[in-house]
């Protein structure tokens, strides 16, 4: 509830065909359990009060009266309860029978939604009994109350205004112009679909993708409740395939043929954030909708903070499934390489200059340059890899840089910069034994000068190596490693850089190259600007700015969805529960916000670079942010946590 999370369920009760009393009892049993689980919306299958497979029994007055009494019994049971309950039943309006969904909450039937699309092909013959529903709502008397009946009805919660429910029934989803399209354009954030989709071989895959794609297209939560065991098997079998999706992601689904209740949370805050940034999303629907307000409680209501059932991935940039991760790596590598290839071809350049340190970022940049030259059919000797050892260089990273260059067959230049930097220290009056920011930045800027001048000498250009995580934190020397002619890693987060390099190591047939890459992966992340201790790296980046896995997590939810600090903190506590304690997470979250706001000036003048994922810090693309914006609102919220 807090932070926009709402717990929802799709349920398939075991029913008896035409036994309204039995079916109603089973529905109420599920509602009872839903209340205990703090579920706020529960959706049941199409015609679940009677059963979908009643056939000509739908023409019997006894069945129809029994169905209405069942709706009344369910409504009476919900008095004083919070959940919105959506159940299916047959209902007659003006002598026409409609396949109907009743939306019930707090002891009241809030509205009735008829099915619009009545299938009458292959195994379906609904048109024998049912009439296509009314689109525009009309007022009818139902159980002594004046309520609305029609498709264009939305139900909005006054305690949680982002909870706006729209309803469609089974076939309505499968047609080109689904009612849910209009519902969401009019403001619905969650769509409930009451369904009786019989099971055929392969149909589960199609159904799953259909629900996922509809939720993605409409940027909504989509609950699909399917009929299951208990329906007649005279001609077809129903598997109870329940699905809950959110903006293209399947949050949970039932095991088919099991009549399950599936439960998770839909993140309404994420949906609203996504719609806000998509300015083409709303405002194109001129059709009037009837909005029915409701509340969870009559008195002042505080939204509880649920213990989330939905998983929170600690590495949102990195797919957990190996096959998905490998595909993402392949795609990103092609995007990076194609971007660099196109730039080289455009300016007719046959030379790329890269500063290599033996670290992850420069390794990935060199591998991408190698791929781009391969696509262009250029001699790999046109890639000039420059190693520039200085005060902090360790033998391990130095040797890895050399071996990597040899394995790839590129031109290797070794240009020590110690003497040049020491001369610069003398020029500006800096004590070389004072290991401060000047000590570090002087090395970074000297390296950039060397690279730029080599590029000028050989008619080439400098390929940048810095990644998106470093840019978000401002962990780059202004006009030093911050600058290049094309930043191939500019939108690749550090956590993903590791997997990209690992992917290269896995797919190469060169055992020596693979061994070098694996050793680079095992090397601590460091700018190597301070002198080593006993030959080992003394300056570890993550000890200074914090763990990159935390910062990438923060970066994703802050930039991708605009979440407030308290929500990011809450999600991080769940995602990293077994790795970091709460105070450590909060400490580095404060560091992230502080650095992110103060370092925008570096991002405002970034070189070109390809966007590879859903998040970027490019000033020409995703992040148009003033360099002098204040972080006080965000920091104040952090201090109150």
Reading the block at residue 458, the tokens are 């050989």
- DSSP per residue, 146-176: EEEESSSEEEEESSSTT-EEEEEETHHHHSS
* CB atoms inside a 10 Å sphere around CB 304: 11
Q: Which of 154, 95, 113 lies closest to 293, judged by CA?
A: 154
Reading the block at residue 502, the tokens are 């690992």
Q: Which of 148, 157, 163, 116 lies closest to 135, judged by CA?
A: 116
**Rounded to 5°, angle at Cα 458 from 455 and 464:** 25
Q: State yes or no: is 46 an active-site residue.
A: yes
> Pairing between strand 290-294 and 164-169?
unpaired
Residues 6+ apart with CB under 8 A from 638: 565, 569, 586, 589, 590, 593
Q: State yes or no: is 470 an active-site residue.
A: no
Q: State yes or no: is 48 an active-site residue.
A: no
CA distance 297 to 300: 7
Catalytic residue of the set 46, 246, 253, 528: 46
CA distance 586 to 153: 43
* CB atoms inside a 10 Å sphere around CB 485: 19
Directed axis angle between helix 511-522 and helix 395-408, to 10°?
150
Catalytic residue of the set 26, 115, 494, 567: 115
CA distance 481 to 493: 16
CA distance 106 to 594: 46
Catalytic residue of the set 54, 170, 351, 407: 170
- The helix (H) or strand (E) run that includes residue 90 is strand 84-93
Computed from CA positions of residues 35, 40, 43, 48, in that sequence, does the dihedral angle turn out positive or negative? Answer: positive
> Pairing between strand 290-294 and 261-267?
unpaired
Catalytic residue numbers?
46, 115, 170
């Amino acid at each position: 509830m807090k932070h926009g999370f709402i717990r929802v369920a799709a349920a398939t009760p075991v029913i008896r065909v035409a036994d309204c009393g039995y079916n109603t009892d089973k529905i109420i049993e599920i509602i009872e359990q839903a209340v205990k689980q703090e579920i706020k919306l529960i959706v049941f299958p199409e015609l679940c009060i009677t059963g979908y497979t009643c056939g000509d029994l739908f023409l019997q007055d006894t069945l129809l009266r029994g169905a209405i009494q069942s709706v009344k019994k369910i409504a009476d049971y919900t008095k004083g309860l919070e959940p919105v309950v959506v159940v299916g039943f047959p209902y007659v309006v003006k002598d026409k029978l409609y396949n109907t969904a009743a939306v019930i909450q707090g002891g009241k039937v809030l509205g009735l939604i008829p099915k619009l699309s009545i299938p009458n092909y292959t195994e379906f013959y609904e048109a024998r009994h049912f009439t296509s529903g009314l689109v525009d709502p009309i007022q009818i008397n139902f159980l002594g109350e004046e309520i609305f009946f029609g498709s264009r009805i939305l139900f909005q919660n006054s305690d949680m205004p982002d909870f706006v429910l729209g309803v469609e029934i089974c076939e309505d989803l499968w047609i080109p112009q689904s009612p849910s399209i209009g519902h969401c354009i009019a403001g619905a954030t969650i769509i409930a679909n009451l369904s009786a989709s019989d099971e055929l071989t392969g149909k589960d895959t199609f159904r799953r993708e259909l629900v996922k794609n509809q939720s993605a297209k409409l940027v909504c939560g989509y609950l699909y409740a399917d009929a299951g065991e208990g329906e007649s098997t005279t001609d077809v079998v129903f598997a109870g395939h329940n699905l809950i999706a959110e903006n293209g992601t399947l949050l949970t689904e039932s095991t088919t043929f099991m009549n399950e209740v599936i439960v998770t949370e839909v993140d309404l805050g994420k949906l609203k954030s996504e719609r806000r940034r998509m300015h083409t999303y709303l405002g194109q629907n001129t059709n009037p909708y009837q909005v029915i307000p409701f509340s969870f409680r009559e008195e002042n209501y505080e939204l509880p903070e649920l213990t989330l059932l939905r998983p929170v991935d600690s590495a949102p940039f990195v797919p957990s499934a190996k096959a998905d991760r490998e595909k993402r790596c392949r795609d990103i590598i092609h995007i990076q390489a194609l971007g660099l290839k196109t730039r080289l071809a455009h300016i007719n350049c046959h030379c790329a200059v890269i500063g290599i340190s033996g670290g992850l970022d420069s390794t990935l940049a060199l591998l991408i340059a190698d791929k781009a030259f391969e696509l262009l059919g250029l001699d790999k000797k046109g890639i000039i890899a420059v190693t520039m050892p200085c005060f902090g260089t360790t033998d391990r990273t130095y040797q890895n840089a050399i071996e990597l260059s040899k394995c790839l067959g590129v031109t290797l230049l070794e240009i020590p910069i110690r003497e040049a930097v020491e001369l610069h220290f003398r020029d500006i009056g800096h004590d070389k034994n004072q290991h401060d920011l000047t000590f570090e930045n002087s090395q970074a800027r000297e390296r950039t000068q060397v690279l730029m001048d080599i590029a000028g000498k050989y008619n080439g250009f400098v390929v940048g190596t810095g990644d998106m995580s470093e840019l978000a934190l401002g962990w780059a020397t202004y006009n030093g490693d911050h600058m290049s002619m094309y930043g191939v890693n500019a939108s690749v987060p550090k956590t993903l850089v590791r997997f990209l390099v690992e992917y290269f190591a896995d797919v190469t047939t060169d055992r020596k190259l693979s061994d070098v890459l694996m050793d680079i992966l095992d090397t601590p992340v460091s700018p190597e600007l301070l002198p080593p201790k006993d030959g080992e790296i003394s300056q570890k980046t993550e000890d200074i700015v914090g763990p990159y896995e935390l910062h990438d997590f923060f970066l994703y939810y802050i930039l991708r969805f605009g979440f407030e600090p308290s929500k990011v903190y809450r999600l991080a506590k769940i995602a990293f529960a077994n790795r970091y304690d709460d105070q450590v997470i909060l400490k580095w979250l404060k560091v992230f916000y502080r650095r992110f706001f103060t370092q925008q000036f570096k991002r405002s003048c970034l070189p070109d670079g390809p966007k590879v994922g859903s998040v970027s810090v490019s000033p020409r693309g995703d992040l148009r942010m003033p360099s002098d914006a204040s972080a006080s609102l965000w920091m104040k919220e952090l201090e109150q946590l």
